[in-house]
Amino acid sequence: MGNNHGRFTDGLLLGMLLGGAIVFLLGTKKGKKVLKAITEEGFEGLGEIAKEWENEAKKETKSQLKKVEEKIGDFEESIEVESTNGDGHSNPPTKRFFRKSPKN
Does 47 fall in a domain? yes
Does 9 fall in a domain? no
pLDDT per position in the chain (104 positions), as tens? 455 667 888 899 999 999 998 888 888 888 888 888 878 777 777 777 788 888 889 999 999 999 888 888 877 777 765 555 555 555 555 565 666 655 55
Number of domains the chain contains? 1
Round to whole Å and give the CA distance between 52 and 57.
9
Number of H helices, E strands in the chain: 3, 0
Domain that holds residue 69: 22-83
Query: According to the model, what pLDDT value does residue 1 have?
Result: 47
Amino acid at 4: N
Does 101 fall in a domain? no
Does 98 fall in a domain? no
**The pTM of the whole model exceeds 0.75:** no
